[in-house]
Homo-oligomer: A and B are copies of this chain.
Amino acid sequence: MTDAATIAFPAWMDDIQQRTETALAAALPSASTAPARLHDAMRYASMGGGKRVRPLLSHAAGAIFNADPDTLDRPAVAVELIHAYSLVHDDLPCMDDDVLRRGKPTCHVEFDEATALLVGDALQTLAFQILSQPLPGIPAERQLDMVHLLATASGSRGMAGGQAIDLAAVGQHLTVTELEFMHIHKTGALIRAAVLLGAHCAKAAPDQIEHLSHYANRTGLLFQVVDDILDAEASTATLGKTAGKDAGHNKPTYVQLLGIADAKTLANELRQAAHDALATFGKRAHRLHELTDFIVDRTF
């Protein structure tokens, strides 16, 4: 085990969050580069906030195979840029019409709607720009696969598709299976991409990718169930975004379908399934184990 593997989880998390912030700052054009207002708004929307769950997952998955953290920064930033773009567009008046995000006014409130639209567009593009820069030590074939994996996870059969399913579900009664289908797309696909891109920064074997894929699917769903519980229970101040907004928008949630108690039971089952999926890696997967517990423990 290296030193990096033995430091306590909170210190490790802090380290990854800091290096992600540094890498994002370097990836984003400066706020003085023309067009300055757009670049200022892109930095506003993606820096200085968020738990960086997806970069943490990329680094934690890469750590299993001792991948180089400098290499891991690249997919970590790419996935976070996709996530940031989706939040900016999701907050727009024609979508969730939200005014608060990460404790700050949302991008279209701080700037304007047209700028927020372009910010989301350009953050998405930047993700692919960053991920297509040659990575030292990674064969071009594999890196092309990584770009393809991120695109597939983000598009109409992944994250953007999940948002469309979400839109269509407003005011509808969904079954738990239908809700799961939505979340597998809306949040699960990108979380899976974060994990697998981390593994692709080292030479993970196909069966290892399979186990990590299963882990990511369980953890992605867990993340959403916990989010629903948080949204129902937490106050706006704690959350840093408008609390209770899903119920207010008449969106189906796990809490609505199952009640708080059963939603918590489901969360615990998914947590166990996530841990089980990592069995093959032994102690090398300890960061992924810790992250799964962190996702649950931020609520209850």
Contacts and interface: CB of A to CB of B under 8 A. Distances in A.
Interface of A: 29, 33-35, 37-39, 42, 85, 89, 92, 94-95, 112-115, 117-118, 120-122, 124-126, 128-129, 132-134, 139-141, 143-145, 147-148, 150-152, 154-158, 160-161, 163-165, 167-168
6 contacts: A33-B157, A89-B118, A121-B160, A128-B147, A134-B144, A140-B141
A129 B113 CA distance: 27
Nearest to A149: B132
Contacts of A160: 38, 118, 121-122, 125
A94 B113 contact: yes
A296 to B, nearest CB: 29
A163 B139 CA distance: 35
B161 A35 contact: yes
B139 A126 contact: no
Contacts of A163: 118
A117 B92 contact: yes
A257 to B, nearest CB: 20
